[in-house]
Amino acid sequence: MRAVDTNVVVRYLAADHPAQTARAKTLIDGTQVWISLTVLLEAEWVLRGSYRFRPAAITAALRTLVGQPTVQVENPPALAQALDLCDSGLDFADALHIAMAHHCNGFDTFDTTLAKAAARAGIANITVL
């Protein structure tokens, strides 16, 4: 199994560089790969910020990627919850923070936007300090 970096994931999803995209597709489609949550977090940031992908397009692309039989990800349940929270309106980073804190009895923040989005998504244990 090979671990892949953010730039491989971005090339695979953005398909904007023919040679690198082909190499990324050959690797990911043909080899067992492991992708960390930090790589997915960074890939989402690059796709949203540099490539101007919309949030729904990013979550759809990430779901397709991690659904490949050759792809294993760090903490699949947390990633699934984070992607669902994104579809409910949370920023991916915030959604991932909340999903990774599932074992805690609350989540404290200064971010009122995060707290409001989480409440709309049904997450009730967010406290704004």
Q: What is the pLDDT of residues 53-90, one digit of tens each?
A: 999 999 999 999 999 999 999 999 999 999 999 999 99
Kindly tell me if the per-residue pLDDT of 43 is higher than 90: yes
- The Cα–Cα gap between 64 and 105 comes to 32
Please tell me the predicted confidence (pLDDT) of residue 114. Answer: 94
Please tell me the predicted confidence (pLDDT) of residue 89. Answer: 94
CA proximity to 41, closest of 5, 70, 67: 5
Please tell me the predicted confidence (pLDDT) of residue 1. Answer: 96
Q: What is the pLDDT of residues 84-127, one digit of tens each?
A: 999 999 999 999 999 999 999 999 999 999 999 999 999 989 99
List of residues 6+ apart from 90 with CB closer than 8 A: 98, 114, 117, 118, 121
Task: Give the helix ranges, DSSP H, for 2-129.
Answer: 6-14, 18-30, 37-49, 55-66, 76-87, 92-100, 112-120
Kindly tell me if the per-residue pLDDT of 44 is higher than 90: yes
Please tell me the predicted confidence (pLDDT) of residue 124. Answer: 87
